[in-house]
Amino acid sequence: MTDDHQHLQRAVALASANVAQGGRPFGAVLTLNGEVLVEAVNEIHLTQDPTAHAELLAIRAASQRVGARLEGCVIYASGQPCPMCLSAMYLCGVARVVFAASNAMAEPFGLSTAVIGQQVGLPLSEQRLPIQHLPDAAMTALYHRWKTLHDPE
């Protein structure tokens, strides 16, 4: 667990340095087998890209180095990962997540993403964002073609 504390403290230090440079208080360290693979900070202030979260940038950089599957990797984040980042972690197979500041701690500062997590957990018809499903039969054929190309028997 000492590695956990060390890597988490590095994520917090990255977040602190990012604040000093005009950014948001978010940093991430992604490790593989206990070794730091990549570090990243939230870059929304630099890129105006709302997806430029520290965790997503770390995942992108790590994937460029080791491939899209990040099994065995651990992400250390200064703040509780938002639903977008958490979804990406599930999609790429991250093994574990360790974070310092919870959504409850971030709430008074306007930095909590708990409301978004609640929204995406609702059925589509109950979410605040209107989401419409328009089925298209061509998608079934496209999915079959993809499966045939990627899962030959």
The predicted-structure confidence for 9-33, as pLDDT tens digits, reads as follows: 999 999 999 999 999 999 999 999 9
Copy the structure tokens of residue 51.
């997806």
Q: What CATH architecture applies to the domain 1-128?
A: 3-Layer(aba) Sandwich (3.40)
Nearest CA to 12 out of 48, 41, 50, 52 is that of 41
**CB neighbours (10 Å) of residue 101?**
18
The predicted-structure confidence for 137-151, as pLDDT tens digits, reads as follows: 999 999 999 999 998
pLDDT at 151: 85
Report the alpha-carbon distance of residue 50 to residue 54 in Å, rounded.
11
**DSSP state for residue 6 in the 8-state scheme:** H
Provide the 3-class DSSP secondary structure of residue 136: coil
pLDDT at 34: 94
pTM over the 0.95 mark: no
Catalytic residue among 35, 39, 43, 55: 55
Segments of the chain scoring below 70 in pLDDT:
1, 152-153
Q: Is 55 a catalytic residue?
A: yes
Q: Do residues 59 and 92 touch, judged by C-beta distance below 8 A?
A: yes
Enumerate the domain spans of the chain. Answer: 1-128
Report the alpha-carbon distance of residue 44 to residue 139 in Å, rounded.
34
